[in-house]
Amino acid sequence: MTEVLENIALYHSKSLIEKSRKGDERAYGKLVGLWFKRIYNFSLKYFADHDQAMEVTQRTFIVVYKKIDRLNDVESFKYWLYKIALNHCREEDRRQKRNGWFSIFRSEEAHQIRSNLGNPEHEYQRKEKEEMISEMLKTLPEAQKVLIIMKEFEGLKFREISETLNISENTAKSRLYYGLKALKRLIEKSELNYKI
């Protein structure tokens, strides 16, 4: 189902990209509407922080707006978009490390995307697991973290990942393997292992 929706988004994106390249702002707004949530989710998995994810997502689409007329191959839009988002994630990460700023508050908005229906205890446990895994992802080397987010959370294919990151598919597979192995060790050592 996800692949069908993605194909629909890509199909609609092509005509919207062409119109946006010619300065059609309505088409650009629709293009943002199609891709905003995916880029936000990617950024949210990278940082586990709503405010940072929103900042990166907004900056990504500002760059897209300014440079869409330079996109030569409409077919490569998806890879181009993820590459811009990843560059902004890395830039934001470096900026925070330079400034020594770390948020002591966790934004609840990032976790309100899900449905409010269901068992409150189950929702609390799921939220707790998500937060613990997000914190564990932060401890992995960046190359492994990015691969896990792109493959496991965003559902990208190895071909798409390799094009986005300019690495071979084998390198992508290797990084994912070692990243998942490291994540599994962290989960086994944590209290999350007892809650799964």
pLDDT in tens, 49-78: 888 899 999 999 999 999 999 888 888 899
Q: pLDDT at residue 35 above 90?
A: yes
At residue 108 the predicted structure's pLDDT band, cuts being 50, 70 and 90, is very low
- 126 and 95 within one domain: no
Residues 163 and 72 in one domain: no
| Number of domains forming the structure of the chain | 2
Confidence of residue 104 (pLDDT cuts 50, 70, 90): very low
Q: Is the same domain home to 137 and 186?
A: yes
CA-only gyration radius of the chain, Å? 18
Quick one: 148 and 100 in the same domain? no
Structural domain that includes position 139: 122-196
- Residue 90 sits in the same domain as residue 134: no
Please indicate, yes or no, whether residues 98 and 138 belong to a single structural domain of this protein.
no
Q: How far apart are CA 38 and CA 82, in angstroms?
A: 9
Residue finishing a domain among 114, 144, 162: 114
Q: What is the token pair recorded at 131?
A: 């937060």
Predicted local distance difference test score (pLDDT) of residue 153: 84
For CA atoms 130, 133, 135, 138, give the dihedral sign.
negative
Taking a C-beta distance cutoff of 8 angstroms, is the pair 66, 80 a contact?
Answer: no
Q: What CATH code is carried by the domain that includes residue 164? A: 1.10.10.10
